[in-house]
Amino acid sequence: MKITKDTRVLVLTGAGISAESGLKTFRDAGGLWENHRVEDVATPEAFRKAPAMVWKFYKERWQQALQTKPNPGHLALAKLEDWLQDNFYLITQNVDGLHTAAGNKRVIEMHGSLNTCLCTRCSHHFPIKDINLEEDIPLCPKCKGMLRPDIVWFGEIPYHLDKIDALLHNCDVFMMIGTSGVVYPAAGFVMTASYFGAHTIAVNLNPMENGDFIDEFHQGKAGEILPQLIDGWINSAEK
């Protein structure tokens, strides 16, 4: 399919796009994530049982994300947005902030962000950099309620689903990058986009669980494939 400046491209990314920036994916290490079972740190139940432990884990993830930089895969997507402008949108399951750091503006962080936290009592959001992380369980500067990481945990409803649904119904190309395709609802987006007529493209190191609805599969590292693919689109459209 020929992609031009008028093509509406919707991208979904997962942990695989940040792997080349040095961040571990969730399911490539035998079910362990930074030596924790995902269920022990990424569920509301875990937070209720052991909030200080969950906070410690996410403080470390935030510190780690601060040390990382966007890789050529992120930068290629920033270039694509620069070219397509309003015809581009990016949904990410990642919480590391690397798409924004790369220069993408039309970004939906459907699983939240390491850069913010929120109050369990008054629901206010705060930049994590403004919070006293010396406290085992940081408290809300407004109401002294218990703060929590602004992460959508297993069992919680992802953010911005209405907007995502509208984008899925109205894209010409749906691209899925570095995601194993096992965590819903994100894993179902490709099916919706395909039903509504989009051409679907996947870029991933390994074949994905939800491969049935993929029209075009590029197997390999996102940081190697995306720059070539996207430069190819731009060059052939502008010839």
Distance between CA atoms of residues 61 and 197, nearest Å: 38
Instruction: Convert residues 143-172 into a mask of x (bound to ligand APR by CB under 6 A) and - (unbound).
Output: ------------------------------
Least distance (Å) from ligand APR to the CB of residue 62? 16
Least distance (Å) from ligand APR to the CB of residue 149? 12
List the one residue from 180, 192, 200, 210 that touches ligand APR (CB under 6 A): 180
Q: What is the dihedral of CA 221, 207, 62, 32, to 10 degrees?
A: -120
Least distance (Å) from ligand APR to the CB of residue 63? 19
Distance between CA atoms of residues 200 and 210, nearest Å: 12
Whether residue 92 contacts residue 113, with contact meaning beta carbons closer than 8 Å, is answered with: no
**By C-beta, is 205 or 237 nearer to ligand APR?**
205
**Residue 213 engages ligand APR in binding (rule: CB under 6 A):** no
Which residue in the shown chain puts its C-beta closest to ligand APR? 16
Which residues lie below 8 Å from residue 221, measured CB to CB, with a gap of 6+?
Answer: 19, 20, 73, 205
**Residue 217 engages ligand APR in binding (rule: CB under 6 A):** no
Helix (H, G, I), strand (E, B) or coil at 100: helix
Q: Which two tokens stand for residue 39?
A: 């269920």
* Segment lying near ligand APR (by CB under 6 A), choices 129-137, 173-181, 189-197, 227-235: 173-181
Task: Decide if 111 is catalytic.
Answer: yes
**By C-beta, is 26 or 233 nearer to ligand APR?**
26
CA atoms within 13 A on the CB side of 63: 7
Residue 163 has phi, psi (to 5 degrees) of -65, -40
Active site residues: 111
Using CB under 6 A, list all residues that contact ligand APR.
Answer: 14-16, 19-20, 25-28, 38, 93, 111, 178-180, 183, 204-206, 221-222
